[in-house]
Amino acid sequence: MKPNPTAPTPNGKWRWKDSVTGATIVNFSAPKLIVAVRVFLANNGRSPLTEEEVGAQICNQMGLMPPYCDEVSAVPPEGVTLEKLGRFFSTFKNWLLDGVKLAPMEEVNRRADICVKCPRNQRAGGCSSCDASLGAIIGQDMVLPEGRFPDKRGQLHNCQQCGCRLSLKIQLPMASFKDDTAKYPEWCWMND
C-alpha cells in the first residue's frame, strides 16, 4: 500500500510517527511527508528507507484504506453519502427494534480507549467547522443521558471511516450494527 497522490488530504493531514523517538511529522501532502520522513531518518543517523517503505508505514500507521492508500486514482466521496445514510438508518432501526438498549459502561469505555488511539478519530469538517457554536453543540453530545459519558469524552470526535460521532456510536450494542457493511481496520472494536 502507498498513499494515493490524487486522493484528498485525510482529516488531520497525512501523519507518520517514529517508533523509536515518538516524534510525529505531519503534512498536507503525502509526497512531501515522505520526503520529510526520509530527511528526519537521515538527520537522526537511522537506516534509510525507500519512498515505498515510508509510504507503506504512513498507510499502515494511519490505517487508511483505498482510495486514500493504494494505486487507484479514484477520489473517495466526501461528506454524507447514500451508503453512510443507509448504514445509519439500518443501525438506528436495529437499535429501536432491539429495545433501545445501550452497551454496558465498561464496554463503552473499552471502545473509547480504542477510538481515542485510532488515527481515524478526527474532528468533524463541513458545516460544523464553519460555525464554532454549532461545532461546540455537536461536540457536547447533548443526546446522551447523564452518567453515560465515556471516560475519554473530550478526546472522541468523528470516525473518518464510517462518519459516525464516536461518543454516540460506542454506546450502542453490537446487535445494532448487524447490517453495517463498512470495512474497519483490524484494531477497531467494530470487528469484534
Q: What is the residue-level pLDDT of the chain in tens, covering all 192 positions?
A: 788 877 778 877 899 999 888 899 999 999 999 999 999 999 998 888 888 889 888 988 888 877 788 764 344 444 567 777 788 888 889 888 888 888 999 999 999 999 888 877 877 654 444 444 445 555 555 566 677 777 776 788 888 778 788 888 999 999 998 888 778 888 899 987
Q: Are residues 41 and 91 in the same domain?
A: no
How much is the pLDDT for 109? 92
Q: Which domain holds residue 90?
A: 82-191
Q: Which of 76, 104, 125 is the last residue of a domain?
A: 76
Q: How far apart are CA 53 and CA 165, in angstroms?
A: 33
Asked if residue 107 and residue 63 are part of one domain, the reply reads: no
User: What's the domain count of the chain?
Assistant: 2
Pair 33, 90 in one domain: no
Residue 74 has what pLDDT? 40
Boundary residue ending a domain (76, 111, 139):
76
Classify the C-alpha dihedral 184-189-190-192 as positive or negative.
Answer: positive
* Number of alpha carbons in the 13 Å side-chain half-sphere of residue 76: 24
Asked whether residue 43 falls in the same domain as residue 102, the answer is: no
Q: Tell me, what's the pLDDT at 24?
A: 93
Same domain, 116 and 72: no
Same domain? 86 vs 158: yes
- Residue 167 confidence (pLDDT): 85
Residue 124 shares a structural domain with residue 146: yes
Q: Is the pTM of this model over 0.85?
A: no
Confidence at residue 130, expressed as pLDDT on a 0 to 100 scale: 46
- DSSP per residue, 114-171: HHHH-TTEE---THHHHSHHHHHHHHHTTTSPTT---TTGGG--EETTT--BHHHHTT
Q: What is the DSSP letter of 26?
A: E
Are 26 and 90 part of one and the same domain? no
Supply the Cα-derived Rg of the chain in whole angstroms: 18
Task: Please give the pLDDT value at position 67.
Answer: 73
End position of a domain, from candidates 47, 76, 105: 76
Q: Verify that 99 and 19 share a domain, yes or no.
A: no
Question: What's the pLDDT at 79?
Answer: 58
The grid coordinates listed for 57 are 508505514
Q: Would you state the pLDDT for residue 35?
A: 94
The whole-number pLDDT of residue 33 equals 93
The reply to whether 93 and 172 lie within a common domain is: yes
Residues 72 and 24 in one domain: yes
Residue-wise burial string across 82-100, b where 16 or more C-beta atoms lie within 10 A, e elsewhere = eeeeebeebbeebbeeeee
| 8 Å CB contact between 167 and 150 | yes
Residue carrying the nine cell digits 447523564: 146
